[in-house]
Amino acid sequence: MDSKNKAFDNAMKELRRYLSQAEEIRRLSVPQARYISGAETYRKTLVDNYKAIGDLARDNIEILDRQLYPRLNFDGKLSREDVEVLRSFSDALNDAYQNSNLDSSLVYEQALRLIEEADKSNDEDETIAALDELVSASYYMMSMTSRLLPVSEICMEYYNIGMKASERLLAYLDKDRFQCLSDESKRLVIINARYIRVVSEIDGVAGTTEQNALMLKRMKTALALSEDPFYREQLPDYDWDLHEFRTLEYICSLTDYNNEKQYGHEDLVFINECTKRMLELYNSSADKYKEAHHTRDIELYPARNAYLVGEISREEYKEKLKDITNQDFRHNSDEEPPLVMLHAPYEYLLLVDKNNLTEEDRRFLSRFYVMLISYMNHTPKMGGITFLVSYLSLIMRHFIELPEDMSPETMGLNLLAALNPTTYVHTLCVADFTVCLTDYLLQKEPERFVGMPGYNSVSDVISGKEDIINFAYHAALCHDFGKLLIIETIFTHCRKLSDKEFELIKVHPAIGAYYLSLSDEAAKYTDIAIGHHKWFNNAGGYPVDFDIDASPYKTIISIVTCADCLDAATDSVGRSYKHGKDLNELIEEFRAESGTRYAPYVVDLFDDDALIEEIKDILETRRDKNYRETYSVLNNYN
């Protein structure tokens, strides 16, 4: 074996080990509580798992430093072997057909480098393969970041790059260019002619009339390819029936989310006819198309599009959505990736008038919320998490509160426990520290709370002490809700975060505040969510444009900021390869940054020996209790 082949084989051997360990890290980070007997065993499992994660993560970081980053960051043209390493590793990380991706950000970085190398090569087949990789990677990054409202400009970078790559691929449909390509390149070009439907839109954003018209036109073009003798002759072995089916499917999906794109009646009639044509194809060979079809939209699309053109009533459509939802939720699902149909219940949410809920609507929503939490507790959190969380974000954006059954706070906390139990434990600990600090500050300096809504004097504060503590507790429970929307980044235990990912982490306060603001009940906690990483003196931290001094809740924000650091700095479980700090060491850091990062009146509380003893009790006793409570929460919805 020559040295080049040996270097390639060695690189791929190490990168395959990285993949195996990355999968193991993901599995260890979210153990299935239903397979663990007892809360104490669950707590010990989490602690032991994160110790193991630390060892695996250190090895994975070293692997990337040896085998990936030198290739990604090389200032010059890569060798053929190096390009193949990047391509093979990217393919292993990303299975677009299965909607499974272990690390979207890493795939995206490699896709950018691969297209850069392909453009240097002047090889059209290599360029097409690289463009196809970039389109898929951009779509994943769009799916991750489209839920980050109201900062959707983060998503636009990926949208623009993905669209540019798609447009370049569409240019190869020119017949003179097309016939010069290899069969594999021709296949990729044809697939991307329909796949541009996926990468060309951002979930939750309606788009302009011109954009929507252009997309329908492109789908008509993609559909016409299957009837064009030229393309059929160029690719005689290509599955043109499947191409037609998948293109029709994409056309059906143009009316997603109760016709969010607002297609007019004429277009809706065309889309409905395409839906019927897709259903005919499906029924002619269900086994074939079922394998290619990832969800049960095959039942949803005909019902929705028939409703939109007036062939069935609103109530008939709602009944169909309820039927699909009840069929699709599998109580003890072990499927990977998660295939639960969140599409149908989300469409139902959009049809409901939240100001005039019927009893039937209440029953459906109450049952759906319980089924959703149960499913999230049970389903593995592996490669399909991006699409699962994207639907969760849409549901939370249009969440309908049921005061007696489910609040946004309860839903958010349950989803946090299911998706990332260590973050849930962190949330409980922050709430414990917050109650402790708030109680002591109320005793020593009640005037600090004057100015909160409803508290215009010290006497108001003293008489409302219990309500203030209760408010601070629930605000602390909601402070990290934004992490739900960046869960893939939170899951990145097995490598160093990139600069862009650190920027993404910094978005979580604003994102959490945005989602809380949508709720009449939880909106009062938005300032705490958005401000808990901002410095007391407004000179540091994030978001940059948030002014703590302008908030009537600035005292609660300052308390939660300290409470957040108290838990984060002393915890060594959820931070896998970092050891928790000693409490005394941390208090000295608080004192050193008193008046800048931390509020002096909160830091001064740590001079009280009684407070220190209570803090120690939370660290030593209640933190363990919170791990056990997490186990209980995960088993509440069975």
Same domain? For 176 and 212 the reply is: no
Crossing angle of the two packed helices 3-29 and 80-93, in degrees rounded to 10? 20
pLDDT at 131 over 80: yes
pLDDT tens string 515-529 = 999 998 899 999 999
Average pLDDT over residues 342-370: 91
- 249 inside domain: yes
pLDDT tens string 572-621 = 665 544 567 889 999 999 999 999 999 999 999 999 999 999 999 999 88
Same domain? For 438 and 587 the reply is: yes
CA distances from 500 to 157, 168, 205, 546 (A): 12, 26, 23, 21
pLDDT tens string 30-87 = 888 878 888 889 888 988 898 899 899 999 999 999 999 999 999 999 999 999 999 9
Average pLDDT over residues 344-372: 91
> 594 pairs with which residues across the strands?
598
pLDDT number for residue 222: 96
Same domain? For 225 and 276 the reply is: yes
The 10 Å Cβ neighbour count of residue 81 is 14
Same domain? For 454 and 567 the reply is: yes
- 188 inside domain: yes
3-state secondary structure of 94: strand
Of 120-134, 291-305, 468-482, 553-567, minimum mean pLDDT range? 291-305
pLDDT band at 96 (very low <50, low <70, confident <90, very high): very low
Q: State which amino acid sits at residue 317.
A: Y
Q: How far apart are CA 170 and CA 179, in angstroms?
A: 14
pLDDT at 490 over 70: yes
The token duo for 369 is 């919320």
- 325 inside domain: no
Same domain? For 197 and 227 the reply is: no
Select from 507, 518, 500 the least CA-distant residue to 398.
518
- 107 inside domain: yes
pLDDT tens string 276-300 = 999 999 999 878 887 766 556 788 9
The token duo for 443 is 């005793």
Same domain? For 95 and 233 the reply is: no
- Write the burial class of residue 509 (CB in 10 Å: 0-12 exposed, 13-18 middle, 19+ buried): buried
3-state secondary structure of 349: helix
Q: What is the DSSP letter of 243?
A: H
Q: Sign of torsion, CA 99 105 107 113?
A: positive
Name 516's Cβ contacts closer than 8 Å, sequence gap at least 6. Answer: 408, 478, 481, 522, 523, 525, 526, 529
Which secondary structure element, helix H or strand E, spans residue 510, and what is its range? helix 508-517
CA distances from 552 to 33, 461, 526 (A): 40, 14, 12
Domain finish residue from 253, 285, 312: 312
pLDDT number for residue 332: 47
The proportion of the chain whose per-residue pLDDT surpasses 90, expressed as a percent, equals 63
3-state per-residue secondary structure call for 401-445: CECCCECHHHHHHHHHHHHCHHHHHHHHHHHHHHHHHHHHHHHHC
The token duo for 520 is 């009449």
pLDDT tens string 399-426 = 999 988 899 999 999 999 988 888 999 9
Crossing angle of the two packed helices 554-570 and 583-592, in degrees rounded to 10? 140
Question: Please, what's the b/e burial string for 313-340 (b: 16 or more CB within 10 A of its CB; e: otherwise)?
Answer: eeeebbebbbebbeebbbeebeeebbbb
Distance spanning both ends of the chain, measured CA to CA:
56
Domain count, the chain: 3
Q: What is the DSSP letter of 533?
A: T
- 359 inside domain: no
Same domain? For 233 and 106 the reply is: no
Domain finish residue from 152, 187, 205: 205
The token duo for 79 is 């060798």
pTM score: 0.90
Same domain? For 121 and 134 the reply is: yes
pLDDT band at 200 (very low <50, low <70, confident <90, very high): confident
Of 131-140, 367-376, 383-392, 534-543, minimum mean pLDDT range? 383-392
- 456 inside domain: yes
pLDDT number for residue 6: 85
Phi, psi torsion values for 425, nearest 5 degrees: -60, -45
The token duo for 615 is 């803090």
Same domain? For 466 and 536 the reply is: yes
- 158 inside domain: yes
Same domain? For 201 and 211 the reply is: no
Q: How far apart are CA 488 and CA 388, in angstroms?
A: 11
Q: How far apart are CA 93 and CA 80, in angstroms?
A: 20
- 587 inside domain: yes
Same domain? For 193 and 241 the reply is: no
Domain finish residue from 149, 183, 205: 205
Residue 435's CATH number: 1.10.3210.10
**pLDDT, averaged across the chain:** 89
Same domain? For 286 and 171 the reply is: no
Q: How far apart are CA 126 and CA 541, in angstroms?
A: 44
Q: Which domain holds residue 282?
A: 206-312
Whether the Cβ atoms of residue 148 and residue 489 lie closer than 8 Å to each other: no
Residue length, the chain?
Answer: 638
